[in-house]
């Protein structure tokens, strides 16, 4: 059973993004608990790597990626995608490319630009328990 967990952790958001909705039918999850926040200025790949490296080795996390100009809870923000799953084994480059694509879609669909504005990528995240 432990090998199943390790294999799941190694494959999660490693070659392509894994969404929480992708595993809901196959694996039972417990998402209780409070969300935490990790702030990244300007989509820095190094900060995404730092986030991933600081995750627990044998844990699965759900992440809601958010774009915010000032990083304040009460200010408007843009959710860039559905909940994605990340583990310590996830590929930061795959995550960054996915989020950049989502941001580019938002630029086109909402007709706005933040090129010259300071902004944050915020990971709203929490650890989830899985039951196979």
Query: Which DSSP symbol is given to 82?
Result: S
Using the predicted structure, report yes or no on whether residue 56 has a pLDDT greater than 80: yes
pLDDT at residue 19, as a whole number: 92
Q: Which range, 20-29, 66-75, 82-91, 102-111, has the best average confidence (pLDDT)? A: 82-91
Using the predicted structure, report yes or no on whether residue 20 has a pLDDT greater than 90: no
Kindly state the average pLDDT of the residues 45-65.
93
Q: Total domain count for the chain? A: 1
Which is nearest to 95 in space by CA: 107, 109, 79, 84? 84
Which is nearest to 99 in space by CA: 125, 131, 123, 75? 123
Question: What is the domain range of residue 34?
Answer: 2-131
């Amino acid at each position: 059973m432990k090998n199943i967990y390790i294999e799941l952790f190694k494959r999660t958001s490693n070659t392509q993004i894994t969404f929480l909705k992708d595993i809901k039918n196959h694996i039972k999850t417990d998402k209780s608990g409070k969300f935490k926040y990790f702030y990244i200025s300007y989509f820095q790949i190094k900060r995404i790597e730092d986030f991933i490296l600081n995750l627990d080795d044998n844990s699965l996390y759900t992440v809601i990626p958010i774009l915010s100009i000032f990083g304040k809870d009460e200010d408007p923000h843009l959710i860039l995608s559905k909940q994605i799953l990340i583990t310590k084994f996830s590929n930061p480059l795959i995550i960054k490319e996915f989020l950049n694509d989502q941001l580019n879609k938002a630029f086109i669909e909402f007709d706005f630009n933040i090129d010259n504005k300071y902004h944050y990528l915020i990971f709203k995240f929490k650890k989830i328990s899985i039951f196979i």
